[in-house]
Structures are given as structure tokens and as C-alpha cells.
Structure 1
Amino acid sequence: MPTSRTKRPAAAALAALTLVVTAACTSSGGGETPSAPRAKVLAVKIDNVAAARPPTGLEKADIVYVEQVEAGLSRILAVYSSGLPPVIGPVRSARETDLELLRQFDEPTLAYSGAQSALRPSIESAPIEALPPSKAPDAYFRSGDRDAPHNLYVRPGKIPHASTGVNAAGDIGLRFAAPPQGGTPVNERTVSYPSARFTFTWAEDRAEWLVSMDQTPARTASGRRLGAATVILQDVDVQPSRFRDRGGNTSPFSATVGAGSAVVLRDGMSYDVAWERNSADSATGFTTKDGEPMTFAAGQVWIVLVPD
């Protein structure tokens, strides 16, 4: 178990400094977002059952949201802005939770395979650019190396989306800077859904939390181990929604507007923090026990919505 914070490589330190400057006009509490430039976000709903792994392009996301879906399984909402991989997937259907999460961003594009008919009016009225295969057929393809429905992929270069190069995490107020005082050394944390499990293990040599899913090391399509610079375990109220999947299972809704507790993992340390999001149009602020804005390590951020 680490006893001191790991020194980040020079490149990471430079990246952190750059992001601090970018986020200087951002309020890290109360949910305000910076003025300009805003991130141009592409969000992709990614399948996450065993048959859908390994994912493609997930390692390039700025933010990886993990949420509970039907039957206690998990699904991922990957948010891209600072850069786009050539292929992302496998792509699956959208959920009500995604619509509330995406209200934090400025008219994001959502790539998804489809949605329940009852949810479609909500998607159409949401302030997003909805982009299922029916609207961009040339951007999607099915791979022959796995069975449907776990083989649908999207090519970002073939959809009407232009990246601004702004980091989506900094855009919604996550401030990248040196860690605060008061953390507790930790080398592993696990989160469980009824039918899914995530473990984050600190790897000092990579300065990342290595991801395991269902007790198996999670890797990218290229074989590299998935890892996050920062992991946020955000306690949320998970409620049954009015929507059901084809099997008759009720779709859960994870409420991300409100307030609650969270645990932030960074640099081999754990921090107990509070989160607050005043409205769907505001971003989520994270504060330490001292009431100061929480800071995050430069790199990919995973936000796991944990049933409270």
C-alpha cells in the first residue's frame, strides 16, 4: 500500500498545468461551467457485458461514466472531446440516465444504437444531437468477429462532429491540479452492482488505477490494460424508471441532480468528498471535507454511479 503520493511524469505535470489554466474561469462548486471555449462533446453509449469486451476506443475518452442498467448489469457512457479515435464501440442503446448526465455539456452529440419507443420522445426533446444509425448509416458498421447485438461500431470521422480539442472534464468544472491534503493511502477499491463488479487497483509505475471488470483485468481492443488517472465513486439514488427492456426488466434511473457523498481515488490516495448538482443544466461540483474544491489528476476520469 502506498505511503506517499507518486510524482507524476513531466508530461503529465505539464498537462495538469495546462488544464488548470483552461479551468481557471470555472466554478468547481454549484455547477457553473466556463465561458469559452466550450468542449464539443461526442458521447457514445458502449456495451459492457462479457460478450461485448474488449471495447474499442474507450481509452481515448475524456470521461468514462459507468451506470447500472437492467438486471443489475452495467453500461458505459464514454465522453470524447479532446481527441477522437477512428473507431468506438460496441455501441448499444441509450437510457434515461444518459439524458440527465449529458445536460452538463453544451449540445453534445450522442451516438447510440437505438432506444425503447417510450424513451424516444425524451431523446428527441433533449438538448442533444441524437445520432443513431438511422441518421448516420455510413458512420456505423457491424464487425464479423462477434455476434450481434455486441458488434455495432461507429466511425467518428464519418459523423457531423468536429472536436474543439477542449477536455470535456475541464469543461464541466473538474479542476486538474495538485492533490489536496487529507487523503488516505489505498491500493484498491471495488464497486458492485447486482450483476456487475468493478475493481480499481493503483499501479504506481503507470500512475493510474487499473480497471478490472467482473474480477477480470479490463483491456482495450489493442490489448492494453484500461486505466484511469482519477476514479470518482459517486453515490446516487437509483430508482426504477417507467421504462422496460425487451425482456420485461425495469430500467433503473440514476439521479445525478441533487447532492450526496463520493470517494475520489487519485495518486494512490482516497478522498471522501461531497458532490452537488443544483439542476440538470448545471455541472457537478465536488468538495473536500474542508469545503474546498476537489482537484483531480490529469488524465482519463472514470465516474462510477454507485447505488446509494
Structure 2
Amino acid sequence: MKGIRLVLLTFVILFAFAACTRDAAHEEAQPEQGQEEEQQDQEASANTGVTAPLTGLPVDEPLTERIIGVMIDNHTQARPQSGLAQADIVYEILAEGPITRYLALFHSQTPDVIGPVRSLRPYYIDIARGFDAILAHAGGSPAAKEEIARTGYPSFDDTGNGGFVFYRAEHRKAPHNLYTGRHLLEEGEARFGYDQDYEIPALLFKPETEEMTGQEAEWIEIVYHGQYYQVAYEYQTQTGTYTRYIGSEPHTDAESGQPLTASNVLVIEAGHKVLDDAGRREVDVRGEGKGYLFQRGKVQEITWQVKDGVIRPFADGQEVGLYPGQTWVNIIPDNPGLADIVSFKAH
């Protein structure tokens, strides 16, 4: 009898152990199942066939919001800036003297902090007009303010009736402390009625898998002026993007602390003419000229021209596609031009 009881007790213990093992295995499997579902959701989003017009990256649904362009300061006291990492396209052009300034176009995402915001120039209006983009700025040159007033171009001006779209940050001194952000821009767009009657241009993108041919260009240097306005890009093989530098230091985002990157770097030369003692310029961004397109660690000589209002690269008479991701466009003077301002090499 004792032997029978011992056998029964052993059976009960083994059954209970097996049940616990099954429960534990089921519990451990739950996170993996959740991760699998999340991965399936991401893959479903990528397979919708819908992409962002300015980046070519997959999105859940078509983007119908209006593009917003923000004038962002690049004075040494304005660095690091906020928001450049989230822009779809960034244009860098000389604004006055040796100082460059950015026009950052936001569409697929608009961050909560953008700035510092600075003043406008007419050639930035020319670029924004091609995207039918609202402009956010703090005043402008006399010619830029006259252009806005004459044409009624949609803008938020901190020195005019759009001041409610901006705020002054305490961690910097004026004039390098003016900021805006997603909620303020949306409020301004609704209040001024800018969320109606606009068009979103289409850019040409190539497949991620398409190989890039051309001369090696894993390190790029663009010298606008001296150390403080010398730009560099370093190719990262593992990501297929370029990390951006100012001088010898990575150009970082103030909010995340992470370096700025770009899938495409388009460098073009355009006519520049100094207008006054402040070094303000007239820049021809509506014509055509020579340039370089840097992608995937290589360079392609291109010509640029404006098609459907947007500066685009061409080779052999055909538009050259961009790789999906963020694009930086560096516009430099055609005198002295590409040969003297831009250099590149393999690592």
C-alpha cells in the first residue's frame, strides 16, 4: 500500500511541475508575441505603398497638411538648434556677411521646439513658394518684407501680427532666443486660414536598394567662410547616411543631443550679389547651374534647374532621384564656385 501511495504522490508532483512549466513558458512567450505583433504593424505601415512627398519614407496614410518653412538661425550663439533633425528638407544659404541661415521645411513631422528663429530674405521666399509653404520668421530684409506685403504670401512674422506663434526662451540671449513649435504653428495656420487652397509638390525618389555609382565621397567639406561656417559631412556605411559637422564638431540637435544626418546632400552653385554694407545678398535660386549630389558615399556631377517650382538635380537631361530620407541643400556662390568651395574624398 505504501508503494502505491508513493507512486501516486510522485505522479501528482510530476503533473504539477509540468503544469507550472507550461504556464511559465506561456508567460515568457507573451512578450515575444507582442513584439511580433508590433513588427507586423510596422511592416503593414511600410507596405501601404504611401510615402511622404518630401522624404519618400513610408507613412500610415497620405499627408495632406500644408508644408511649413521656418527660418532658423545659424549664428554661433544660436547653436545647437532645435528642430533641424525633424525637417524633411533643409536649405542652407548665406544670409549676411559670412553667416549662413537655414530654411527648414516641415511636413511629415513637426517638432514641439523649433529655433532659434531669425529673419527672412527674398530668395528663401522663392524656395518656399515652390512648396507652397507657410513661412515662419522674425522680420526680414527690406526687400523680403516688401515682397511679403506686396504678394500677401502666407507667413507668421514675429515683428508683425504673427507674434503669438513665437516665444522667447530663457536659456539664450536675444536675438538668438526666439522659438516656435508644432502647436503654435497649427494655431497660427488655423487662425489665419492658411490651411486651405495649397498644393504639395511631388519629388522623385529611387528605391532604397538601388546602388549608387560614381567617385568615392565619404568625407565632404563646404567652406562658406572660415572655421565657424565650414560644413562637413561624413558617410556612415551602416546607416547609408551622412553625419553633418560644423567645423570639426558634429552638428547636433539641442533637444536630443544627437548628430544631424542626411540621406542626400545636394550642393549647388548660384549667382550671388552683395546688396549693402550689412552683407545682404541677392541669390538666384530660380535659374540653373552646376552642382554635386552626394549619396551613399559617392558623388555625381549634376546640373540643377527649377522644375514645378522646386530645385531638382539632373544628369544627361533626366531628373536624378533622391534616396528616401532627409535632404540637405547647400547653396554656394558661383564665384568662386564648386571647385574652390567644395572638396570631397574617400576615408
Confirm or deny that 1:121 pairs with 2:154: no
Quick check: 1:141–1:153 contact (8 Å CA) kept in 2? yes
Quick check: 1:16–1:176 contact (8 Å CA) kept in 2? no
Cα distance in structure 2, aligned partners of 1:149 and 1:304: 24
Structure 2 residue aligned with 1:251: 280
1:241-294 CA-to-partner distances (Å, cap 9, x unmatched) read 3xx4xxx4131122111111111111111111111126xx72223212x33321
- Residue 215 (structure 1) aligned to one of 234, 237, 248: 248
- Residue 224 (structure 2) aligned to one of 188, 193, 200: 193
Cα distance in structure 2, aligned partners of 1:112 and 1:122: 14
Letter in 1 for 2:260: L
1:140-183 CA-to-partner distances (Å, cap 9, x unmatched) read 1111111111110012312333799xxx9x83534343546642
Unaligned runs of 5+ in 2: 1-41, 55-61, 335-347
Cα distance in structure 1, aligned partners of 2:241 and 2:222: 17
Deviation (angstroms), 1:135: 2.2
Deviation (angstroms), 1:39: 6.0
- Residue 271 (structure 1) aligned to one of 300, 303, 306: 300
Structure of greater relative contact order (alpha carbons < 8 Å, 6+ residues apart): 1
Query: Aligned pair in 2 of structure 1 residues 63, 16: CA closer, same or farther (>3 Å)?
Result: farther
SS in structure 2 opposite 1:285?
A: strand
Confirm or deny that 1:94 pairs with 2:120: yes
Cα distance in structure 1, aligned partners of 2:48 and 2:330: 22
Deviation (angstroms), 1:18: 4.2
Structure 2 residue aligned with 1:234: 268
Matched length: 272
Cα distance in structure 2, aligned partners of 1:267 and 1:118: 39
Cα distance in structure 2, aligned partners of 1:263 and 1:180: 17
Cα distance in structure 1, aligned partners of 2:289 and 2:65: 26
1:83-138 CA-to-partner distances (Å, cap 9, x unmatched) read 111110000000121111112122x2111011234531212234631211232333
Quick check: 1:42–1:81 contact (8 Å CA) kept in 2? yes
Confirm or deny that 1:59 pairs with 2:82: no
Quick check: 1:42–1:161 contact (8 Å CA) kept in 2? no
- Residue 284 (structure 1) aligned to one of 285, 290, 311: 311
Identity of aligned residues (%): 25
Confirm or deny that 1:44 pairs with 2:70: yes
Cα distance in structure 1, aligned partners of 2:325 and 2:225: 29
- Residue 261 (structure 1) aligned to one of 287, 290, 311: 290
Structure 2 residue aligned with 1:132: 157
Structure 1 segment 129-208 matched on structure 2, within 5 A: 129-133=154-158, 134-159=160-185, 160-161=188-189, 171-178=201-208, 179=210, 182-195=213-226, 196-208=229-241
SS in structure 1 opposite 2:221?
A: strand
Query: Aligned pair in 2 of structure 1 residues 174, 303: CA closer, same or farther (>3 Å)?
Result: farther
Cα distance in structure 2, aligned partners of 1:62 and 1:257: 21
Cα distance in structure 1, aligned partners of 2:212 and 2:83: 34
Q: CA RMSD in A?
A: 2.9
Unaligned runs of 5+ in 1: 1-9, 24-35
Query: Aligned pair in 2 of structure 1 residues 297, 132: CA closer, same or farther (>3 Å)?
Result: same
Query: Aligned pair in 2 of structure 1 residues 118, 104: CA closer, same or farther (>3 Å)?
Result: closer
Cα distance in structure 2, aligned partners of 1:301 and 1:263: 13
Structure 2 residue aligned with 1:28: none
Deviation (angstroms), 1:77: 0.6
Structure 1 residue aligned with 2:103: 77
TM-score normalised by length of structure 2? 0.71
